[in-house]
Amino acid sequence: MIELRDVHKTYRVIKSRPGLGATIRNLFAPSYSYVKALQGVSFTIGEGELVGLIGENGAGKSTLVKIATGILHPSGGTVLLDGKSVHDHRKECALKFGVAFGQRRALWWQLSARESLQALGRIYRVPSSEIAGRIEQLVEVFELGRFVDMPVRQMSLGQRIRCEVAGALVHRPKIVYLDEPTIGMDVLAKIKMREYLKRINREDGVSVLLTSHDLFDVERLCERALILDGGRLILDETFEALREKFCGSRVLRLNLASPIDDGRLDGIDGIEVMPGEDRWRLKILFDPVKRPVMGLITELGRRLDIVDFMVEDLPIDEFVAEIYRTRGER
């Protein structure tokens, strides 16, 4: 359905120099640096796939979404939607996808959300006899009833984002790009959005590419993860495969009666101390096959004043962080 082939994007960024003199020099002789936002990214998203795009700040997630939607032109490579270049056939391709950017406004500030959704329906060529019905459905799904007739500028951030996501779906696209759509959304709204996206995925085969800083959201909705680091696609796996890969790992959380001193855990094999909150609370990553939990607790108990402990699966954000840490060490 959508295919990215060896996509590169390099931004030219003006170098700011400190001081008034340097600022004036910059006016006449600016110097530039080049930022490689994407470096040879290739992947395919098939019909009905739910894909999460994960990456640290500046990893290239938003750039990738903008290139995939034909908004930004890549410095190299191609993006095909149903076999057609999204950059050469931008208008035709745009009818097939919906896009919501959490930090951009697709709705008109002075109009009510309902008027904005009606205008979007017309722009996306939804038959006029169907627009009202589709809007009512979205109002119901996203629970917009209380504020859909309010001017967008008077809405809270969460209310506005819910309307923005509804706006991306009014024309029933085949693929939905959601770039940080959950900013400002409350828990119930997030759940409603996930349920609706899963429903249209199941019933209509709609594909979704979701980027979010909240990995819990991504994991709850998506089946497949794409992880970007420094503009490169470092991992493309299903969440299930990722869990299997890391399923051996557990996190041991310890609450201590007294703060831990440096070097107290030196010499204990098969564990990794994870960044913790303070010196009274420890997080230790271990593999229970190699280090059975009772033996580990006993050994730790000899060295630490343990008040309480808990063993849990490695949460999604921890294993993504683990992937980054592993790459950083290489």
Partner 1 sequence: MNHYLAYSAVAIKEGIAFRVNLFTSMFGGLFQLVLLTSVWRAVYLGQGDLAGYDESEMLFYVVVATAMGVGGLLSVGPIIGRRNDTGDIVIDMARPVSVPWSYFFSTLGVYALRFWIKGIPTLIIGLILIGRVPPVSLHRLAAFLLLLAGGSFLHFCLNLGVASFAFRTRSAYGINILWTAATAFFAGLLVPIAFYPEALRQVVEWTPFPSVAYAPIRVLMGDEAATGGFGALYSGVLRFPSVPAAVLEQITWILIALPLAFRVYRWNEKSVEIQGG
Give least dist CB 107 to partner 1, A.
9
Q: Give dist(CA 31, CA 256) in Å, integer.
A: 54
Task: Kindly provide the b/e burial profile for residues 10-40, where b requires at least 16 CB atoms within 10 angstroms of the residue's own CB.
Answer: eeeeeeeeeeeeeeeeeeeeeeeeeeebbbe
Q: How far is the CB of 10 from partner 1 (least distance, A)?
A: 10
Phi (first) and psi of residue 270, to 5 degrees: 75, 20
Please tell me whether residue 103 binds partner 1 under the rule CB under 8 A: yes
DSSP letter (8 states) at residue 44: E
> Across-strand partners of 12?
34
For the bound state, the minimum distance from the C-beta of residue 4 to partner 1, rounded and expressed in Å, comes to 17
Question: Which of 264, 254, 235 is CA-nearest to residue 323?
Answer: 235
Under the criterion CB under 8 A, does residue 24 sit at the interface with partner 1? no
Residue range at the interface with partner 1 (CB under 8 A); choices 111-119, 237-245, 255-263, 309-317: 111-119
Q: How many CB atoms lie within 10 A of CB 149?
A: 12
Closest distance to partner 1 from the beta carbon of 85 (Å): 14
- Taking CB under 8 A as the criterion, the residue among 77, 124, 137, 245 binding partner 1 is 124
The residues in 286-325 that bind partner 1, with binding defined as CB under 8 A, are: none
Task: Output the smallest distance, CB 115 to partner 1, in A.
Answer: 7
Decide: is 40 part of the binding site for partner 1 (CB under 8 A). Answer: no
**E strand residue ranges, 224-289:** 224-229, 232-238, 250-256, 271-278, 281-286
110 binding partner 1? (CB under 8 A):
yes
Residues binding partner 1 (CB under 8 A): 11-12, 37, 62-63, 66, 69-73, 90-92, 94-95, 99, 101-106, 108-111, 115, 119, 122-125, 128, 151, 179-180
